[in-house]
Structure 1
Amino acid sequence: MAERPSAAQEALSKVEDQLSCLVCLEPYTNPRLLSCFHVYCQHCLEDIVTHNRQGQLECPKCRRPTPLPPTGVSGLQAAFNVHHLFDIQETLEKIKEPQKLACEKCSKTTRKATSFCRQCTKFICDMCTTIHKEYEEFEGHEVVTLEKVEGDLIRLVSPKKTSPRCPKHDEKMKLYCEPCGELICRDCLVHIHKDHKYCVIADTFESHKKEILDSLGPVEKQLEATDTALVNLDGRHAEIIEHGGKIATNIHSKFNEIRRALDAREGELMAELEGHTQQQLKSLSAQREEVEILQTQRSSCLHFVRESIRTGSPGDVLKMKQGVVKQVRELVDTFDPNTLEPRETTNTCFVPSAQLVKECKKFGALCCVNIPQKAIADQKVTAYCRFLSPKNSAPPEAKLISKRTDKATKCVVKERGKGKYEISYQPTVGGASELIVRVGGEEVAGSPFPVAVKTPIDKLGTVIKTINDLKRPHGVALNQAGEIIVAEHDAGIVSIFSPTGDKLRTLDTRGTAVGEMEYPRGVAVDGDDNILVVDAGNHRLLKFSRGGDLIAAVGSHGDGPGQFNNPIGVCVNSVNGKVYVVDFGAYCVHIFNSDLTFSSKFGSKGSGNGQFDSPYDVASDRSGCVYVVDAGNYRVQVFTPDGGYLRQFVMRGSGNGELSGPVSICVDSDDLVYVGEYGNDCVSVFTCEGVFLKSFGSRGSGPGQFISPYSIAVDQCGVVYVSDYGNNRVQIFS
């Protein structure tokens, strides 16, 4: 039986794998970094450039292009972290046979090594170990026994973080020129960078390191998305195979009834099914390769940057900072989330024909139905049904049913030839709907198909449902299941309703203890369906799970970081995942990280740009921009995700887009901005640039009327939910 490799041998094998160039398959020589964070030998990259007529440097692994600097391949960023791996490799070679190790520190080379000093990177004997412990010059050195080294091989060798020297003046480069993004020495500062802003590396390295690490946040999320996408693609791959098997079984069962007459037809259909299934699998395989490339790029980015920061000196890290941050941003900007969604679906089905005996020569059909997932109310929408067996003459039947009203919309089916059918429908009611498609009296695979019917803005304003008997409802939000979350201010509770308005559960922990609420105001939902509540009475921000379990509670009364003076509005930025809380009494907006640790805040009292007078609510759009309703100044201000002022729109007025007491705001999936007005008791709709589109509502207690519309939520269908504070209800509009 073969002897199991030692821990050192296994670690050495892993390190050697990381030290081999993917082009020449030899250990790296002068390793260079591409913009995709893959590393290759300099001479290998120069060969690639030489053989490429366009002069484009394309990564051999992921095919991402890297722009060449004027100096060519030699001007690319050096992968200095690779040198640390060579140091580890050298030490691992020695420890493969620890019984043969001799002391490398003292003159008695016959003494057996028993420990390892990480700072000296030498194996030492017992006497040298004692000297390390007793002599002041070795203070801070980490000495570990060989047994401990075996269990901690990853941390075997400390990175050699040496400051680089200036190639012009042969001095240590201890300064960083911020405009140029370069390391400089004192002579460079005097002669070349005289009027430039600079900093001492040792003093500012931590802030620069944090900036680099912060830039990795979107990459981490994209890597998680690619991981999830690969799982989904593998799952869809299995579903298609399983679904194809089910269809095959169905085909077999039908054909067994009239086997002799349908043997030939069965073979044809099975061949068609196999061909279609293989075509889908081939398409999925191609898509999987695309996602794997995205995953590889982002994984390489994270691994390289973190290892470089861990193993490189401050100078090395800052030397690469500008290029790395630029490369990271390019990597983030080129990410297309649409690539992650499986392009193929299990939309194939077997449809048996009527009159089996007479129609045995063309018995059964495989068909695919392509349904638009988003329709516009009062606008003609077309879906398509395609038969893989074009000789089948059974036309499909279809109808569109609103899930809110149960009303059916008539569908028109037209044959387009070659087994293709066009299904047209013109929805009259907005909201979630279902398209039912039948062939030969049986529903096709996937039916009913979900269709999001979005009402055109010019038609918006019809009340389709009302949730009554609430106690001063303030905040309103929607979770991924379409449940309606309402903060009842006077009751001190948060109530959750089904999409049809039935009460499901309540967060009713009223009080002043941690996790309890006195006067809940704004509510929001994060990407994990957790519920965020601002509690004005206790000056707190609370996070609950969808089921109501307390996850976190932050804040107290005061003006320090993370403290509140009457918090009132809250939103979650879908781009950066951060939580924004409007502090009415402090005239500012607090920014929290997704784990509710305090990040920063912006705003002050006043009427200038970026100042507030009675801020009430906050929302964000698809690009991450933040919108704040500034009631006292009769306007909406727009900010960057970090709180930088961008623009404002609409001033004081009494209608037609002129705001009067704006108190609530919401931005939908099309970046349309909905503003609830206390003074006009209406909801006004604008583009994200502030162009007025329409208003609906007036003061009163009838359907479609308001008394203080304090919060707004909009679902993917454009259905608008408004908390009607003074009338103790939530009205739903389409």
Structure 2
Amino acid sequence: MKKGIVIGVIFVILVMMISCSKKSQPAEPVEPTPTATNTPYHEFLGACGSQGTAEGELTSIDAIAVDNTNNIYIYDRSTRYINKFNNGFIYQFRWGTSLNGNGLIGISSNITCDSGNNVYLTEFDKHRVTKFDSAGNILDYWGELGSGNGQFDTPDGLICYGTDRMKVVDIMNKRVQTFDLEGNYISQFSLFVTGDPVTNYHSGIVVDSSGNFYVLNYSNKCIKKFDSSGNFIKKWGESSYNPGGMPQPTFIAIYGNSLFVTDFTREIIIAFDLDGNFKYEIRGYTEGGTYKTLSDPNALAVDSSGNIYVSESDTGVRRIVKLSGTLSYE
């Protein structure tokens, strides 16, 4: 009898041990759902240009502009040509060797288009803005060295906005000047903000749908935001390799509620919202089914559909890459 009881007790204990063992086993691992923490990229839509000095070739890409029909204008500092490609990435022509007796195109790092597809270029060695039609014919130019109204000391970034307005970043005078599209001076505002160091150089400028302006301060690795009257609102940015850090910012562009900045050192495009909050970093794109990292990105532009145009200048490569406005993840 006792033997039977002992056997029964042992059986119950074994059953309980097996049951507890099953309950303590970890659940089967579940494959995580991809989230926005993965590397973002924009789909490759095409490219134009190759390395060289012949027509359709590029050497030193310093600025990009896109007009209303998505024609692409590329300023090449080495050759001092403006190269035009159509929206199918086909080379059209270039100009810059003669400007109706006004000499060669000067040294520049910014180019833009107005709503009529005219092209504007700042020439910082000649301290002026030059206006062309879309066929490359010179229409006008204005500016000279100085600090008075309408004068420049190293003009750089420029933007056309509204129906008849342009703003130009005047680097050494530390200001932004406003003109109409015929070059008539209208107003200005200072780029100096309390706490700025002596070395304080600004470059690109963009405008949002509310009329606020954003100016890239490349020497101090930050973006400054001003209202439509030129009143300072805020600034953000740092020279670091942290998310949103920009040790060598080069160009700024805008689409909707996103600001885009190329950083040459980190080889990325950084996206912020309009209040300066970091959104994400674009490190590459897919071309032919293969993911590629950006290669020495520098010049930057965005078209009216939000597609991104960025220059690449790796060994043996000089081209403009067009990326879709839709963000995807690896």
Please confirm whether the aligned pair reaches a TM-score higher than 0.5, indicating the same fold. Answer: yes
Q: Once the two structures are superposed, what CA deviation does each residue of 1:576-620 show, in whole Å capped at 9, x if it has no partner?
A: 632111223333222212221112222255663799812121111
Q: Read off the aligned partner of 1:731 and give its amino acid letter.
A: V
Instruction: Say if 2:144 is the partner of 1:556.
Output: yes
Counterpart residue identity of residue 189, structure 2: F
Deviation of 1:637 after TM superposition, in Å, equals 0.6
The one-letter code of the counterpart of 1:680 is: R
* 1:677 aligned residue: 263
**Residue of structure 1 equivalent to 2:18:** none
1:461–1:567 CA distance, 2 compared to 1 (3 A): same
Alignment of 1:318-467 (within 5 A): 459-467=40-48
User: 2: distance between equivalents of 1:613 and 1:494?
Assistant: 29
1:460 is paired with a residue whose SS is strand
Contact 1:610/1:637 (<8 A) preserved:
no
Equivalent of 1:730 in 294, 311, 320: 320
3-state SS in 2 of match to 1:710: coil
TM-superposed CA distance for 1:672, in Å, is 1.1
Preserved CA contact (<8 Å) 2:100 2:138: no
The equivalent of 1:621 in structure 2 is 208
8 Å contact 1:477–1:486 — kept in the other structure?
yes
* Residue identity in the other structure for 1:621: D
Distance 1:612 1:500, change over 3 A: farther
Say whether residues 1:697 and 2:286 are aligned partners.
no
Partner of 2:81: 493
Q: Which has the larger radius of gyration?
A: 1
CA distance in 1, matches of 2:100, 2:145: 12
- SS of 1:632's partner is coil
Q: CA deviation at 1:675?
A: 0.8
- Residue 98 of structure 2 corresponds to residue 478 of structure 1: no
Distance 1:606 1:638, change over 3 A: closer
Question: CA shift at 1:657, angstroms?
Answer: 1.0
In structure 2, the partner of 1:566 is 154
Which residue number corresponds to residue 6 of structure 2?
A: none
Alignment correspondent of 1:711? 299
> How far has the Cα of 1:677 moved from its partner?
1.5
Aligned mates of 1:582, 1:725 — CA distance in 2: 26
User: TM-score, normalising length from structure 2?
Assistant: 0.74
Deviation at 1:634, TM superposition (A): 1.5
Determine which of 224, 229, 238 is the counterpart of 1:642: 229
Aligned CA distance change for structure 1 residues 640 and 503 (closer, same or farther; 3 Å): same
Corresponding residue for residue 271 of structure 1: none
Using the alignment, how far apart are the partners of 1:495 and 1:582 within structure 2?
23
2:122 corresponding residue in structure 1: 534
What are the Cα deviations for residues 662-696 of structure 1, in whole angstroms up to 9, with x where unaligned?
2210111x231111113322110111111211112
The one-letter amino acid paired with 1:696 is I
Instruction: State the SS of the aligned residue for 1:660.
Output: coil
SS for the counterpart of 1:496 is strand
1:515, distance to aligned residue in structure 2 (A):
7.0
Aligned 8 A contact 1:683 1:696 in 2: yes
Separation in 1 of the partners of 2:208 and 2:198?
21
Aligned equivalent of 1:508: 96
Q: What's the TM-score once normalised by structure 1's chain length?
A: 0.35
SS at match of 2:84: strand
Name stretches of at least 5 consecutive residues in structure 2 with no aligned partner.
1-37, 52-57, 285-290, 325-330
Q: Give 1:476 deviation, angstroms.
A: 0.7
* Aligned Cα root-mean-square deviation (Å): 2.8
What amino acid maps onto 1:706 in structure 2?
S
Q: Which residue is 1:581 aligned to?
A: 168
CA contact (8 A) 1:603 1:610 kept: no
Task: Measure, in 2, the Cα distance between the counterparts of 1:556 and 1:616.
Answer: 18
For residues 312-371 of structure 1, give each alpha carbon's deviation from its aligned partner in whole angstroms, at most 9, with x where no partner exists: xxxxxxxxxxxxxxxxxxxxxxxxxxxxxxxxxxxxxxxxxxxxxxxxxxxxxxxxxxxx
Contact 2:72 2:87 in 1 (8 A): yes
1:687 aligns with 2:277: no
Is residue 189 of structure 2 the alignment partner of residue 608 of structure 1?
no
TM-aligned CA distance change 1:512 to 1:728, over 3 Å: farther
How far off is 1:534 after superposition?
0.8
Contact 1:539 1:565 in 2 (8 A): yes
Kindly indicate whether the alpha-carbon contact (under 8 Å) linking 1:519 and 1:537 is maintained by their aligned counterparts in 2.
Answer: yes
Whichever structure has more strand as a proportion of its residues is 2
Alpha-carbon distance between aligned partners in 2 of 1:515 and 1:580, rounded to the nearest angstrom:
25
Is the counterpart of residue 654 in structure 1 residue 241 in structure 2?
yes
Alignment check: 8 A CA contact 1:569 1:617 kept: yes
Shift of 1:651: 2.5
Residue deviations 1:635-672 (CA, integer Å, cap 9, x gap): 1011123321122222332131122222210111x231
Alpha carbons of structure 1 residues 704 and 513: separation in structure 2 relative to 1, 3 Å: farther
Conserved? CA contact 1:652–1:658, under 8 Å: yes
Amino acid aligned to 1:570 = L
Cα distance in 2 for partners of 1:681, 1:588 equals 29
Where in structure 1 are there 5+ consecutive unaligned residues? 1-456
Tell me, in whole angstroms, the C-alpha distance in 1 between the residues paired with 2:99 and 2:140. 16
C-alpha separation in 2, matches of 1:678 and 1:652: 12
2:131 aligned partner, one-letter code:
K
Secondary structure in 1 aligned to 2:219?
Answer: helix
Paired with 1:476 and 1:613, the residues of 2 have a C-alpha distance of 24
Percent identity reads 20
Distance in structure 2 (CA, Å) of the matches to 1:599 and 1:578: 9
In structure 2, relative to structure 1, the CA distance for the partners of 1:564 and 1:728 (3 Å cut) is: farther
Please give the alpha-carbon distance, in whole angstroms, between the structure 2 residues aligned to 1:512 and 1:606. 41
CA contact (8 A) 1:579 1:594 kept: yes
Q: Say which SS state the counterpart of residue 183 (structure 2) adopts.
A: coil
Structure 2 residue aligned with 1:590: 177
| Equivalent pairs, count | 272
> What is the SS of the residue equivalent to 2:186?
strand
Change (3 A) 1:516 1:599: farther
Q: Are 1:461 and 1:704, in contact at CA under 8 Å, matched by a contact in 2?
A: no
Deviation at 1:725, TM superposition (A): 5.4
